[in-house]
Amino acid sequence: MKSCTHKRALHLTRATALLCLLAACAITGKALAPVFPGKVTSTQQQAIDYVEKIVELKSSAHWPNIKPDLFLKDLKNSIHDPVSIYAGKGTNFCAYGALTYLFLQDDPLGYATLLLQLYHEGKASFRKVKFDPSAAIKQQAGDLKYKGALDINPAEQMWFLTLADHYKGYLNFFNLNYDEGDENRFWASANYAKFNRMTRQLLHYDYDAMGADLMRPRLKNIYNYISEKMKTGTVVLFINNRIVHKKDHIQIKLGVPTHFIVAERISMKDDIITFIYWDYGRKTQLQISTAFFKRIVFGITWFTKKEKNAR
C-alpha cells in the first residue's frame, strides 16, 4: 500500500512537471528544456508526449554536422520504437547500443531530455554523471559514414560517441582520444566491467553480474540460471559473437567475448536452446546446442527494477 502511495506521488510530480514545462514552452516558443532527467523512471507514453510536442529544432552550434531535422526524427523514432536502436556496421558501439535499448525501456523521457540537453548545450548531466564531450566528438557526430542506418541517425551517433568518449575501460587505455575512424577501433570498445559501470550509473535498476572478460561464468546449468533470471528481470549477455556469426573460416579462434546482446526469450527442447535476443536494431532467434551456448556466454548481467522506481 505504501509503495502504491509512493508511486502515485511520483506520477503526480512527473505530470505536474511536464505540464509546467509544456506551458512554459508554449509561452516562450522555445525548444523544450529537460524535465528532471533521471530522477524518476518514466513511461514510453510520457516520452512520446514530450517529443511529439517538439515540431522543430534549431541547429546547434555545438554539433556542426548534425542536421536538426534528422536529429529530431531519429530521437522520435527511438522513443517510438526502441528495438530500432542500431549501433552501426563495423563499429564497436554494441555495448552502447544495448545500454540504450535498456535505457529506452527504463526511462525514455530521461533519454529524450538528456539527448536534447546534450544537443542544445553541448554537455549534459544525468543523475550523477556529467557528460562533456570533446571537440573531436562534436565535430564527428552527424558525419559518421558507411555504417548502415546509423548514417542517417545523428542522435544515436552523438549519444554513442559521447558514451565512448566519457566512459573508459582498460581496452581504451592505448587509444583515449578520438580520431576519425576510431568508432571501429579500441577507442570505442567496452569490456564487461565498463558496460556494467555504465548501466549502474545511467539506469534505474539493481543489477547482478556473473562472468568476466576472459572467463566464463561457473554455472552447473547456464540455461536454468538465465531462464530463471529472465522471469524476474532483464538479462544482458556478453558473448563471443565471432563463433556465432562467423566472418571467416579460420578454425582456431580466441575464446573471447566481443558482443553485448539483450535476452528476450529462451526455451529448451532435446538439448537445443531456442534463444531470442535483441541486437543491432532487430530481434533474432537462434537455435543452438546447450554445449555451444555455454561456450559463447562470458558474462550474464541481470537487471531488476528498483522498488522505488517501479512503474
The amino acid sitting at 103 is F
CB closer to another protein out of 28 and 287: 287
Specify the 3-state DSSP secondary structure of 151.
helix
Decide if residue 266 touches another protein (CB under 8 A): no
For 212-260, give the DSSP string.
-SSS----S-HHHHHHHHHHHSEEEEEE-HHHHS-SS--S-------EE
Does the CA dihedral 298-269-282-225 come out positive or negative?
A: negative
Decide if residue 276 touches another protein (CB under 8 A): yes
Q: How many Å apart are CA 132 and CA 21, to the nearest integer?
A: 25
Chain centroid offset of residue 274 CA: 24
Decide if residue 77 touches another protein (CB under 8 A): no
Decide if residue 270 touches another protein (CB under 8 A): no
Decide if residue 89 touches another protein (CB under 8 A): yes
Decide if residue 268 touches another protein (CB under 8 A): no
Q: Binders of another protein: how many residues, by CB under 8 A?
A: 24
Which residue among 220, 231, 247, 269 contacts another protein (CB under 8 A)?
247
In 3-state terms, the chain is what percent helix, strand and coil (to 5)?
Answer: 50, 20, 35
Decide if residue 284 touches another protein (CB under 8 A): yes
CB closer to another protein out of 225 and 292: 292
Binding residues for another protein restricted to 113-152, rule: CB under 8 A: 145-146, 148-149, 151-152
CB closer to another protein out of 17 and 288: 288
Query: Where along the sequence are the contacts to another protein (CB under 8 A)?
Result: 70, 89-90, 145-146, 148-149, 151-152, 184, 245-251, 276, 282-287
